Amino acid sequence: MKEWLAAGERGLFIRSYVVLAGGLLIVAILLDLGFGAVQARQVRAADPWLVSTLELMEKDLASVPADDRQRHAVDLGRRLGIGLTLLESGDISSATPLGDAPRELLDDSGQLYYLWRSPALGGALRLGPFETPSESLLARFLPVVFYASILLIVGLWLRPLLTDLRTLTDASRRFASDYREPLDTAGRITQLKSLARNLDDMSARISQLIQGQKEMTAALSHEMRTPLARVRFAVAVLEGEVDERHHLQLRAVSNDVQQIDDLISDMLDYARLDHPGLRMHCQFVPITPWLRQVLLSGPPHERNVKTVRRDELQSMWMEPRLMELALSNLLANALRYARSNVSIEVAHEGGSYRLVVEDDGEGIPEAQRASVFNAFTRLDTSRNRDTGGFGLGLAIVARIAALHRGRVTAGASATLGGARLVLEWPEP
């Protein structure tokens, strides 16, 4: 039962059970109270035999003189085996109003009487006492059994539904982490078979589409590099055999080839980060040599790059190869748009590691700070394709942040005046 009600499904089960069982119980109680109220109006005093008996007694007593009616009433009750008393008008309390129908009364000892107004006798007839009917043990526990059966039926009805939902949820979670394995739940579902079959078919189609798209992207990327290499080799050969005018044109062609090659590299990196077979090997990495490696592998530039390390931080928990790729993309983005200064800050605060890259460029408009991390997103004005960006660098950073259970945000630099990109992720 504990395994069946896992943490994710326990809340759903409790809410569903409370709503269904509580609703049915409320309806049953209201119906019980309603039937009880209706039955209370139809008291036994209104039974036809009781009214007829009292009418016959009244007629019999009215046939004798008034002085003998009390004694005759006692004799009549003794003959019938029913206690009968003739009450004068003065013997009836004003707090006991009488109507046309007999009224049911209980004395202090729990004995039952019927009181009936008799205008013909100038008073009332009291019939009784009668023993109050005792409630049987079955009748006493029958409501409890009824309400308990409602709770049991609702629980038995909900259990297979919750089991099916848990099966579908677990299968969907596995498919979300690895699209290469489509759902196969129809054979394990008992109640939601139609939904399971539809989800299985949908996951199979999605798996085929994603795998086909990634295989095509990878194949095209690899295949394009072979002719690009031949073009680059041909350009290098021709540069030494042509005049200066054609030399400039060949250099432009070489730059275009390099941009295409950079785009292919970014596409492969982005596709590789989204592959379910990617394995994270996080470890504590010394910061100083790691930063030095990132700066050395960065593109050539003439900007002033300043590194700041807060709190004397010596190492960070990360996947070094992926985080190096992330910082390289953040640095390349800053160098691309900075005028002269770029700052890299490494910090550890509140149980999280943080990389902050700032530049003194034009910055990122506030309305576009969330969208810059989407793939193939380029901003207007200075942040466009002419600067060499393809819109994949920050998307790669966002994916690496997610793999580290972190996030990356964009803002404005208070010190340099340009963009401020913050990559942060939690401790292990």
Domain that holds residue 260: 215-273
Distance from C-alpha of 333 to C-alpha of 329, rounded to nearest angstrom: 6
Is residue 97, in this structure, part of any structural domain at all? Answer: yes
Tens-digit pLDDT string for the chain (428 aa): 444 445 445 666 677 777 777 777 787 777 777 666 655 554 444 467 788 888 888 888 888 888 888 888 888 888 888 888 888 776 676 556 666 678 887 777 777 888 888 888 888 888 888 776 665 666 667 777 777 777 777 777 778 887 888 888 888 888 877 777 788 888 888 878 888 888 888 888 888 887 777 777 777 777 777 787 787 778 777 777 777 777 777 777 877 777 777 777 777 777 777 766 677 888 999 998 999 888 888 777 778 889 888 777 889 999 998 999 899 989 988 988 899 999 999 999 888 999 999 999 999 998 888 888 887 776 644 444 444 566 788 888 998 998 899 999 999 999 999 999 999 999 98
Pick from 413, 304, 311: which is nearest to 353 by CA?
A: 311
297 & 383 share domain:
yes
CA–CA separation, 190 vs 53, rounded Å? 64
Q: What are phi and psi of 197, to 5 degrees?
A: -65, -40
One domain, residues 300 and 418 = yes
Residues 257 and 389 in one domain: no
Domain termination residue (choose one: 130, 155, 186): 130
User: Are residues 292 and 412 both part of a single domain?
Assistant: yes
| 307 domain-assigned | yes
Is the distance from CB of 373 to CB of 408 less than 8 angstroms? yes
Residue type present at position 286: P
Q: For the whole model, what pTM was predicted?
A: 0.54
* Angle, vertex CA 117, rays to CA 113 and CA 122, nearest 5: 125
**Nearest Cα residue to 86 out of 104, 64, 101, 109:** 64
Give the total number of structural domains in the chain.
3
